[in-house]
C-alpha cells in the first residue's frame, strides 16, 4: 500500500487547562523523513560528539503559507545552549546565568569528590581480602566439621568399650579437641577483624562523606531548578505566557524541565506566529543510562518533563491540515520490529495506544499508566483500553479482555478477537501456564538479592480496593523477586507473580512481612514520595498462541 506523507505514526497530546479539550499534534511519515535527514546532518557536523540526547524537528507553516522546518536539541549541545541554526532555548535561563554557572561549578567539584571517594583503594583491598578470608574460614570450618563427625563416632565407640576413670579421661580429651578448634576459629576471626575493620572504618567514613555530598548535590540542584522554573516563561498559541512554576503547581519538577525539544519547538513556533503541522523527536548518540533509548529511534513526549506541558503549549493552535484519509477514517502507521513488517490500522486507537502484536485471533497493547483496562461502572470511568479499541475498530469487531492491569500500572495487555481464543487464553492464565515478568522501582533500598514472597492476601469489603496480608482469610499469593540494581535510595526489582491476586505485587512489596518497601508512587500502600506515576510495569508476557500453539513472547521497554 502506498502511504501519503500525512500518515500518522504517533500523536503528541495534552488536555487544554482552560477548556478541558484534548489537543493533538501528529508525528507523520513526512516529518520522520525530515528527522532522518537531521540525523545525517548531526553525524556530519558533530562526528566526535557521542553524548546521547533527544533531538526534535517541527514542520510548521507561516502566516503566508510557507512551510518551515525548525530543529532543537535537549539541554546542551557541545556545552552550549544556543547554536546558530537551532531553536533558541526558552527565555529565562539568562536571568540566573551567574547563579547557574556557580552552581554547576560546585556540582562538578562534588561529582569529582564522589568519584574519588568511590574509588579509594581500601574498597578494592577490603573486597579482595574479605573474599580471601571467607574462603579460608570456609575451608577451616569444613575441616572442623569433619573432625566433629569423627569425634562423635569415637565418642560412641568409647561409651560402648570403656567405663569409669578410663572413659572419663578419653571423653575429656575429645572435649579439649573441640575447645581447641573453637579457639582456632576465634583467633582466625580476631586476626581477620584486625585487618578488615580498619579498612571498613575508612570505607564507612568515605560512604558518610558521600552521603553528605549527595545531599549537598540534591540541595544545590533543587535550588537551581527552583530558580530556573520561576524564570522559564512559556508561550502558547493563544499568546498566553506562564512560568514553569505556574504550570506545575503540585509535586516536584524533574531536572531539565523546559530544556526538552518539544517545549522549545512549540514555544518558538508560538512566539513567531507559526502553525505546527507535525513534530518528531529522536535519540542520537550513546544509549541512555537506562538503556531504553537508542540511536536513531523515534520517541514520544517524555512522561515527566514534556507531557505535563503539552496541554498548555498546544492551546490556541490553529488546526493543522487534515491527515490522509481513506473511506473517511484516519490512517495510523505502527512498525512491528519482530517481523520487520509495517502494519496499517484504522483510527488513532483512542489516544495512540501502541499495538505490539496483532493477528486475526488476538491483539496486545502497550497500556499507559492511569488508564483503565476495561470500563468502570460509572460515567467518569468509561475511558479504558477496551473502550478505545472498540471505538477504534468499530462496534462490529469483537474484542475481549483476557486479563487486566491496575489503572496505575503500565505494560502489556492482551485481548482476544474471538470467543475460542478467549477461552484458550483465559484457561492458560487460570492454570498459570503463562509467564509474566514485571519491573518496578521501590522507594527505598532492600538488602535481599532474590527470593520468594508467600503471603496470602485478603480484600476487606469495607475498604476496597485495599488488599492486606491475612493468614486465616487470605488467598494464596506467591511472588518471585530479583534485585536488578540500586540507584541512590531506590531499588529496581524484577517481579514474577506465580499467582494473580489484586494488587499482589504492590502488597508483597510494601508489607513488612514481604520486602517492607512500597513501590515508588504507590500512595495507597504507603509511598509518600512526590512522583507522577506508579513505577510498576508489565514488561514481558509469554503464552501459547490459542490456535497455532506457537510460543509467543512479548517484551516492551520499561518507561522509567
Q: Which of 551, 530, 531 is nearest to 541 (CA)?
A: 551
Cα–Cα distances in angstroms (integers) from residue 260 to residues 13, 16, 243, 356, 482, in the given order: 16, 20, 15, 27, 34
Q: Which of 303, 554, 536 is nearest to 439 (CA)?
A: 536
Q: Which three cell numbers stand for residue 231?
A: 524564570
Q: Which three cell numbers stand for residue 359?
A: 493477528
Residue ranges of E strands in 294-373: 298-299, 325-326, 329-336, 341-346, 355-358, 362-367
Cα–Cα distances in angstroms (integers) from residue 321 to residues 5, 7, 56, 302, 325, in the given order: 12, 12, 20, 25, 12
Residue ranges of E strands in 43-184: 53-61, 67-73
Residue 310 has a CB neighbour count (10 Å cut-off) of 21
* 140 touches 189 (CB < 8 A): no
Largest CA distance in the chain: 117
* 477 touches 456 (CB < 8 A): yes
> Within 13 Å of residue 80, how many CA atoms lie on the same side as its CB?
10
> Within 13 Å of residue 285, how many CA atoms lie on the same side as its CB?
17
Chain-centroid distance, C-alpha 62: 39
Residue ranges of E strands in 461-500: 467-469, 478-487, 490-497
Alpha-carbon distance of 335 to 12, in angstroms, equals: 18
Alpha-carbon distance of 260 to 244, in angstroms, equals: 13
Query: Helix H segments across 162-254?
Result: 164-231, 244-247
Q: Does the annotation count 406 as an active-site position?
A: yes
Cis ω for the linkage preceding 395 (within 30 of 0)? no
> How many angstroms separate the first and last alpha carbons of the chain?
36
Please give the backbone phi and psi of residue 46, each rounded to the nearest 5 degrees, phi first: -130, 60
Catalytic residue among 259, 406, 511, 522, which? Answer: 406
Cα–Cα distances in angstroms (integers) from residue 350 to residues 266, 365, 385, in the given order: 23, 12, 8
Residues involved in catalysis: 406
Amino acid at each position: 500500500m502506498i502511504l501519503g506523507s500525512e500518515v500518522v505514526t504517533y500523536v503528541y497530546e495534552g488536555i487544554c487547562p482552560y477548556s478541558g479539550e484534548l489537543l493533538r499534534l501528529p508525528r507523520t511519515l513526512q516529518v520522520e523523513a525530515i528527522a532522518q535527514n537531521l540525523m545525517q546532518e548531526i553525524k556530519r557536523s558533530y562526528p566526535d560528539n557521542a553524548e546521547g540526547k533527544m533531538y526534535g524537528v517541527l514542520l510548521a507553516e507561516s502566516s503566508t503559507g510557507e512551510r518551515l522546518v525548525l530543529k532543537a536539541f535537549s539541554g546542551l549541545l557541545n556545552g552550549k545552549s544556543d547554536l546558530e541554526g537551532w531553536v533558541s532555548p526558552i527565555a529565562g535561563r539568562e536571568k540566573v546565568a551567574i547563579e547557574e554557572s556557580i552552581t554547576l561549578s560546585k556540582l562538578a567539584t562534588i561529582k569529582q569528590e564522589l568519584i574519588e571517594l568511590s574509588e579509594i583503594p581500601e574498597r578494592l583491598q577490603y573486597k579482595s581480602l574479605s573474599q580471601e578470608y571467607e574462603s579460608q574460614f570456609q575451608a577451616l570450618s569444613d575441616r572442623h566439621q569433619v573432625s566433629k563427625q569423627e569425634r562423635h563416632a569415637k565418642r560412641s565407640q568409647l561409651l560402648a568399650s570403656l567405663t569409669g576413670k578410663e572413659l572419663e579421661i578419653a571423653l575429656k580429651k575429645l572435649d579439649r579437641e573441640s575447645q581447641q578448634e573453637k579457639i582456632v576459629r576465634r583467633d582466625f576471626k580476631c586476626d581477620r577483624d584486625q585487618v578488615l575493620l580498619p579498612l571498613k572504618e575508612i570505607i564507612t567514613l568515605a560512604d558518610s562523606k558521600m552521603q553528605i555530598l549527595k545531599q549537598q548535590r540534591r540541595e544545590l540542584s533543587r535550588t537551581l531548578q527552583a530558580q530556573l522554573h520561576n524564570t522559564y516563561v512559556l508561550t502558547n498559541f493563544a499568546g498566553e505566557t506562564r512560568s514553569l512554576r505556574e504550570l506545575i503547581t503540585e509535586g516536584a519538577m524533574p531536572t531539565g524541565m523546559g530544556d526538552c525539544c518539544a517545549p522549545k519547538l512549540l514555544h518558538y513556533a508560538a512566539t513567531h506566529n507559526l502553525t505546527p503541522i507535525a513534530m518528531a523527536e529522536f535519540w542520537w548518540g550513546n544509549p541512555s543510562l537506562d538503556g531504553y533509548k537508542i540511536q536513531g529511534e523515534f520517541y514520544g513526549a517524555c512522561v515527566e518533563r514534556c507531557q505535563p506541558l503539552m496541554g498548555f503549549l498546544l492551546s490556541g493552535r490553529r488546526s493543522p491540515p487534515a491527515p490522509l484519509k481513506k473511506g473517511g477514517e484516519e490512517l495510523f502507521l505502527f512498525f512491528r520490529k519482530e517481523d520487520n513488517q509495517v502494519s496499517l490500522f484504522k483510527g488513532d486507537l483512542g489516544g495512540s495506544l501502541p499495538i505490539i502484536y496483532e493477528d486475526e485471533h488476538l491483539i496486545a497493547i502497550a497500556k499507559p499508566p492511569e488508564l483503565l483496562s476495561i470500563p468502570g461502572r460509572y460515567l467518569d470511568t468509561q475511558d479504558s483500553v477496551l473502550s478505545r479499541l472498540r471505538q477504534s475498530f468499530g462496534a462490529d469487531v469483537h474484542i475481549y479482555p483476557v486479563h487486566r492491569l491496575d489503572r496505575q500500572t503500565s505494560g502489556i495487555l492482551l485481548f482476544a478477537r474471538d470467543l475460542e481464543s478467549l477461552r484458550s487464553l483465559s484457561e492458560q492464565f487460570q492454570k498459570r501456564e503463562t509467564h509474566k515478568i514485571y519491573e518496578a522501582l521501590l522507594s527505598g533500598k532492600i538488602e535481599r538479592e532474590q527470593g520468594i514472597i508467600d503471603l496470602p492476601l485478603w480484600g476487606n469489603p469495607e475498604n476496597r480496593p485495599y488488599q492486606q496480608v491475612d493468614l486465616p482469610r487470605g488467598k494464596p499469593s506467591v511472588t518471585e523477586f530479583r534485585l536488578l540494581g540500586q540507584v541512590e535510595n531506590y531499588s529496581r526489582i524484577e517481579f514474577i507473580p506465580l499467582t494473580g491476586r489484586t494488587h499482589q505485587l504492590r502488597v508483597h512489596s510494601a508489607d513488612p512481612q514481604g520486602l517492607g518497601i512500597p513501590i515508588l508512587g504507590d500512595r495507597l500502600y504507603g509511598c509518600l514520595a512526590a512522583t507522577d506515576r506508579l513505577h510498576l510495569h508489565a514488561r514481558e508476557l509469554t503464552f501459547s498462541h490459542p490456535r497455532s500453539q506457537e510460543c509467543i513472547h512479548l517484551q516492551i521497554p520499561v518507561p522509567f
